[in-house]
Amino acid sequence: MTDKGEHHVVIVGGGFGGLEAARHLAAGPFRITVLDRRNHHLFQPLLYQAATASLALSEIAWPIRSLLSRHKNATTLLGAVGGVDAAGKSVLLEDGRRVAYDTLILATGARHAYFGHDEWEPHAPGLKTLEDATTIRRRILSAFEQAEWLTDADERRRLLTFAIIGAGPTGVELAGTIAELAHETLRRDFRNIDTREARVVLVEAGPCILAAFTEDLSAYAERALARLGVEVRTGHAVSQCSAEGIELGGEFLPAATILWAAGVAASPAAEWLGVPADRAGRVVVAPDLSVPGFADIFAIGDTAHVAMGEGRTVPGIAPAAKQEGRYVAGVIRARIEGKPAPGPFAYRNDGNLATIGKRAAIVDLGWIKLKGRLAWWTWGIAHVYFLIGLRNRLAVALSWLWIYSTGQRSARLITGANAENPERRPQ
Amino acid sequence: MTDKGEHHVVIVGGGFGGLEAARHLAAGPFRITVLDRRNHHLFQPLLYQAATASLALSEIAWPIRSLLSRHKNATTLLGAVGGVDAAGKSVLLEDGRRVAYDTLILATGARHAYFGHDEWEPHAPGLKTLEDATTIRRRILSAFEQAEWLTDADERRRLLTFAIIGAGPTGVELAGTIAELAHETLRRDFRNIDTREARVVLVEAGPCILAAFTEDLSAYAERALARLGVEVRTGHAVSQCSAEGIELGGEFLPAATILWAAGVAASPAAEWLGVPADRAGRVVVAPDLSVPGFADIFAIGDTAHVAMGEGRTVPGIAPAAKQEGRYVAGVIRARIEGKPAPGPFAYRNDGNLATIGKRAAIVDLGWIKLKGRLAWWTWGIAHVYFLIGLRNRLAVALSWLWIYSTGQRSARLITGANAENPERRPQ
């Protein structure tokens, strides 16, 4: 590996925050290494569409190294980080390798959390990676396939019940799309079942869905879900998850497919450094996003707890991570170039969007609130715009126009149950 | 399941032959059930493109039930067939279920065969399913990723050596595309390795590549491969395959990525019935494609050994399977409608196409032979035309035009090593 003596910034994680930091540092006098355990940057806001057969995996993910291709001072390395040796200024990989740094940015993201019920995970997969999306897609489609065989009405009903736990944007988007899949896309393809009999139940412990939005928009989203046939159960905490179904408020709901959209926890970066974390495992950072006690280590995105005053924190969404990545690049650059440090990080809320199926959405830009079809088009255009690369924008736009006009979804593939060691007997 | 008393035709396998039979029977007085262990019909001629990051999985596969959606007398069931009870006129599923038939069509396809060396399979995966394509894509891309870490020249060279065994169309197409990936697509994305130093070695035991073509076209294809930087080794049988590399003609070639394109064997349909099979495991069928001794069972496609005279058999390619499916539908229909049986099956050779990278191809239509760019465009247009559905045609055409004009491939994702049980720690 080349070492030309420049200041070496190591960024762990090629998500929205890490990538933005790398791009902004690349213009400066730095050598940059991005380490990630996956080879791709994932456009997580659309991951639910891959999980519900609307988009192909390759339409929402892009190799990190090709995104940094034109920055000759940026190297990408595929590897799983398992710790930090802060005294030795090195990142430790799980396979024993070390990568030395001058400055370190931890942008390691979050995973789903089961609030002390890790035993629920096999029954209620969450949605964070492309593999998660493949798993969820396989479970949803397989439930219909199995139901097509059955004559037992109770078991058929259980197979055609989909419970989604957590009514944030991901839960609402999953519920809306599964309802459309059942009521529209799959309707004519089965002979023994009526897919429109499928029940989609969205369970939320809090008092309303999409709590980040105003009461008015949240209520609209709930009505839009009801129009799609989704049963919304707010104020119900799930007390049990099993292969048979879920238990909520003393009631047992038989459901073959349970999806988890209820909570996330940060990666173990705080443990690596032995620094204080909040309840979600996020590193409580200083106003300049550095880790207290480690001037040359920063934490951004879902890894960081960034206070906004009044007990609030910066939300764990892509625009926030990007702003933090850009800000930290500026802090590091000012240090190296001997300029005054920028003021503390200030989060700018650019708005909040959520979609409910293919015809409704809610948009809150602060100065304007939208709902319905216009909001849906705003949502769609914004997401196509934020996708990386013209080719992906064209492909996703084509996919969406196709779904919008025909109701057909092209990625209805059941794959991967034995991806590394597939059963080889053909048929 | 409804049983309206019509004649029930069960088709095992939703590949080219099975699907074509189902579609042609659907117009007649039949009830049709298609059984497949996968939910999708796969456009196998382009599977190598999914394996080499050029196309998304969902661009070359389509749910069988949606392809038969408009035929209300056709049911699709997802299930793994493990035998036939010919006396009881039932298909036996691996999970113990039975499906009764009046007439049975076995269109169960082929899998790769290692000529008595099944122990080579983990080191040299073949290409028959979407999961195979994901595995091969992961291995190819991971080899470059691992090489980027290394300073040891020998190990780096081994990681950047790709051995493809078998120079039929699949082997040639894999070799040409991997060479383009290394020499063009990935060229600017790595910092520590020069991907153009990758070696792509195509090994063939026979005297020439693409033996199904004329000597002239085969020689042209070999020159086109050489221009792409592929080393062609004809007349070399592989005597050993391991995690370290391959042995051919006493020489050991260290190679981290070995791909198997050397041979196929039919599914065990002949064993299910206890009837004679050829060396490749195919059922030796009667001139009307029925299985000798079982007037109500037919075998088509890669499951069937169909003699053409002079010791030759109908080739195991998609157009042949489709012709056989159509023919068998006609035979069954004539029987039920009391019409005279059609004459024996006669294979019509519509031509032979193979492509070498993104600029050369060879086409032999009998009355005309093409090579070079014109052949490539003929190949591309023919394959887009044969894809199912306007949406897939548009998507694949877009992908190809993009690769053709930019050299970039959009599906460069490493996924699925632990698809069912992914490591959940993010980064």
**Interface touch B189/A69, C-beta < 8 Å:** yes
The verdict on A236 and A312 lying in the same domain is no
| Cβ-based contacts of B62 with chain A (< 8 Å) | 410
- What is the Cβ-side half-sphere exposure of residue B381, based on CA atoms within 13 angstroms? 7
**Record: contact A131-B418, CB cut-off 8 A:** yes
Q: Where are the beta strands (DSSP E) in A249-346?
A: 251-254, 257-260, 264-266, 283-284, 290-291, 294-299, 304-305, 307-309, 312-313
Q: Are residues A210 and A99 in the same domain?
A: no
| Contacts A–B by Cβ distance under 8 A | 239
Nearest-by-CA chain B residue for A34: B427
| pTM of the predicted protein model | 0.91
Instruction: Spell out the residues 6+ positions from residue B351 whose beta carbon is closer than 8 angstroms to its own.
Output: B363, B364, B365, B366
Q: How far is CA B323 from CA B16, B265, B317, B318, in A?
A: 9, 21, 10, 9
Residues of B in contact with A134 (CB under 8 A): 415-416, 419
Angle at A370 between CA A367 and CA A373, to 5 degrees: 155
Does one domain contain both A28 and A164? no
Q: Are A203 and A175 in contact (CB under 8 A)?
A: no
Residue B267: strand, helix, or coil = coil
CA distance B326 to chain A (A): 19
Q: How far is A43 from chain B (nearest CA, A)?
A: 13
Closest by alpha carbon to A333, among A100, A5, A6, A3?
A6
pLDDT of the residue at B387 = 82
**What's the confidence (pLDDT) of residue A417?**
58
Identify all chain B residues contacting A66, using CB atoms and an 8 Å cutoff. Answer: 189, 408, 412
The chain A residue lying nearest B37, using CA atoms, is A427
User: What percentage of residues in chain B have a pLDDT greater than 70?
Assistant: 96
C-alpha dihedral sign at A202, A204, A210, A213: positive
The residue out of B278, B308, B336 marking a domain boundary is: B336
Last residue of a domain, one of A243, A262, A281: A262
Q: Which residues pair with A163 in a beta bridge?
A: A201, A258
Order across the sheet with A360-364: list the strands: A352-356, A360-364, A369-371
Cβ within 8 Å, pair A425-B394: no
For residue range B162-180, list pLDDT tens digits in order: 999 999 999 999 999 999 9
**Taking CB atoms and an 8 Å cutoff, what residues of chain A touch B81?**
427
Nearest residue in A to B71, CA atom: A189
Which two three-digit tokens encode residue B260?
């198997």
Q: Which one of B119, B131, B145, B173 is the catalytic residue?
A: B173
* Angstroms from B63 CA to nearest CA on chain A: 6
Evaluate whether residue A105 is within a structural domain. yes
Q: How far from B50 is each of A374, B70, B201, B325, CA to CA, in Å? A: 37, 28, 20, 26
Instruction: Give the model's pLDDT for residue B5.
Output: 64
Buried b (16+ CB within 10 A) or exposed e, A349-387: eeebbbbbbbebbbbbeeeebbbeeebbebbbeebbeeb
Minimal-distance CA residue of chain B relative to A394 = B398
Residues in chain B: 427
Indicate the number of domains in chain A: 2
| Shared-domain flag, residues B170 and B254 | yes
Q: Chain A: residue nearest B112 by CA? A: A424
Q: Say whether B188 and A70 touch across the interface (CB within 8 A).
A: yes
Q: Are residues A227 and A318 in the same domain?
A: no
Co-location of A136 and A237 in the same domain: yes
Structural domain boundaries enclosing B242: 118-262+351-406
A95 burial via Cβ count (<10 Å: 0-12, 13-18, 19+): exposed
B53: left (phi > 0), else alpha (psi -120 to 50), else beta? Answer: left
**pLDDT surpasses 80 at B1:** no
How many Cβ atoms from other residues are within 10 Å of residue B404's Cβ?
Answer: 12
Q: What is the pLDDT of residue B422?
A: 31
The CA-CA-CA angle for residues A262, A80, A94, to 5°, reads 115
For residue A14, the chain B residue with the least C-alpha distance is B427
The answer to whether B417 contacts A422, with C-beta atoms less than 8 Å apart, is no
Residues of A identified as active-site: 173
pLDDT tens column, B395-408? 888 888 787 777 77
Neighbours of A348 (CB within 10 A): 7
Distance CA A184, CA B173 (A): 39
A217-254 confidence digits (pLDDT tens): 999 999 999 999 999 999 999 999 999 999 998 899 99
Asked if residue B414 belongs to a domain, the reply is: no
Asked whether residue B137 is assigned to any structural domain, the reply reads yes
Predicted confidence band of residue B281 (pLDDT cuts 50, 70, 90):
very high
A391 contacts B408? CB cut-off 8 A: yes
Residue A425: its pLDDT value, please?
35
* The dihedral formed by the CA atoms of A33, A297, A96 and B191, expressed in degrees to the nearest 10: 10
Q: Which helix (H) or strand (E) holds A75?
A: strand A74-78
pLDDT value of position B2: 42
Task: Report CA A62 to chain centroid distance, whole Å.
Answer: 15
Contact state of A66 with B414 under an 8 Å Cβ cutoff: no
> Which CATH number covers residue A124?
3.50.50.100
Q: Which of the residues in chain A have pLDDT under 50?
A: 1-3, 418-427
How many angstroms away from the CA of A369 is the closest CA of chain B?
A: 34
Q: Do B148 and A78 touch (CB under 8 A)?
A: yes
Residues of B in contact with A63 (CB under 8 A): 189, 412-413
pLDDT of residue B224: 96
Name every residue whose Cβ is closer than 8 Å to that of residue B214 and which is 6 or more positions away in sequence. B364, B369
Distances (CA, A) of A343 to A285, A287, A331, A338: 15, 8, 9, 15
B contacts of A37 (beta carbons < 8 Å) = 423, 425, 427
B101 and B235 housed in the same domain: no
Residues B345, B48: Cα–Cα separation, whole Å: 31
- Nearest CB among B65, B146, B420 relative to A189 is that of B65
**Which chain A residue has the Cα nearest residue B417?**
A420
Residues of chain B contacting A188 with CB distance shorter than 8 Å: 69-70
The CATH code of the domain that includes A107 is 3.50.50.60
State the DSSP string of B108-126. Answer: --EEE--TT-GGGTTTS--
User: Residue A131: which H helix or E strand, with range?
Assistant: helix A130-149
> Which residue in chain B has the smallest CA separation from A68?
B189
Q: Are residues A157 and A251 in the same domain?
A: yes
Q: Give CA angle at B425 (B422, B427), nearest 5°.
A: 115
- Average of per-residue pLDDT across B138-143: 96
Looking at the domain assignment, is residue A86 inside a domain? Answer: yes
Average pLDDT, chain B: 91
Q: Which chain B residues are closer than 8 Å to A142 by Cβ?
A: 78
Q: Do A398 and B402 touch (CB under 8 A)?
A: no
Residue B345 lies in a domain: no
DSSP state for residue A5 in the 8-state scheme: S
Q: What does the pLDDT look like over B42-79, one tens digit per residue? A: 999 999 999 999 898 988 999 999 999 999 999 999 99
- Taking the alpha carbons at both ends of chain B, their separation in whole angstroms is 48
Q: Report which of A262, A261, A257, A232 is spatially closest to residue A246, judged by C-alpha positions.
A: A257
Query: What ranges make up the beta strands (E) of A64-204?
Result: 74-78, 81-85, 90-93, 98-100, 103-106, 110-112, 161-165, 199-204
The residue from A262, A287, A311 where one domain ends is A262
Name the residue among B36, B57, B398 with its Cβ closest to that of A427. Answer: B36
Q: Which pLDDT belongs to residue A305?
A: 97
What secondary structure does DSSP assign to B282-342, as a single string? -EE--TTSEETTEEEEEE-GGGEE-EEETTEE--SSHHHHHHHHHHHHHHHHHHHTTPPPP
Contact status, residue B325 vs residue B13, Cβ threshold 8 Å? no
Q: Is residue A292 part of a domain?
A: yes
Residue of A57, A110, A111 with shortest CB distance to B56: A57
Strand order in the sheet with B90-93: B81-85, B90-93, B98-100
Closest C-alpha to B136, from B196, B213, B223, B47: B47
* Amino acid (one-letter) located at B394: L
The DSSP secondary-structure symbol of A12 reads E
Does residue B423 lie within any of the structural domains?
no
Place of tokens 């085969």: B218
CB contact under 8 A, B427 and A13: yes
Chain A interface test: which of B35, B58, B73 (most A C-beta within 10 Å): B58
B184 and B148 fall within a common domain: yes
What are the residues facing B330 on neighbouring strands?
none
Q: Alpha carbon B16 to chain centroid distance? A: 11
B213 and B288, same domain (yes or no): no
Q: In angstroms, what is the C-alpha Rg of chain B?
A: 22
Comparing CB atoms, the residue among B1, B56, B80 nearest residue A427 is B80
Using a CB-CB cut-off of 8 Å, the residues of chain A touching B427 are 12-13, 35-38, 80-81, 108-109, 267
Residues of A in contact with B37 (CB under 8 A): 423, 425, 427
- Reported confidence tier of residue B425, pLDDT bands at 50, 70, 90: very low
B43 located within any domain: no
The answer to whether the Cβ–Cβ distance between B408 and A425 falls below 8 Å is no
Task: Work out the average pLDDT over B221-246.
Answer: 96
CB contact under 8 A, A81 and B413: no
Closest by CA position to B171, among listed B222, B214, B123: B222
pLDDT tens-digit map of B325-353: 999 999 999 999 999 999 999 999 988 89
Question: How far, CA to CA in Å, does A262 sit from each of A116, A356, B77, B187, B416?
Answer: 13, 17, 34, 42, 24
Which of A39, A112, A410 is closest, CB to CB, to B413?
A: A39
The torsion angles phi and psi of A396, rounded to 5 degrees, stand at -70, -40
pLDDT tens sequence across B148-161: 999 999 999 999 99
The pLDDT-based confidence of B4 (bands split at 50, 70, 90) is low
Task: List the single best residue of A10, A34, A38, A58 to mutate versus B (max B Cβ within 10 A).
Answer: A58
Specify whether A306 is located in the same domain as A271. Answer: yes
Residue A317 per-residue DSSP state: S
Tell me if residue B23 falls in helix, strand or coil. Answer: helix
Which residue type does B71 have?
H
Point out the residue among A134, A402, A426 whose CB comes nearest to the CB of B108: A426
Provide the strand spans (E) within A205-241: 230-234, 238-241
Same domain, A108 and A141: no
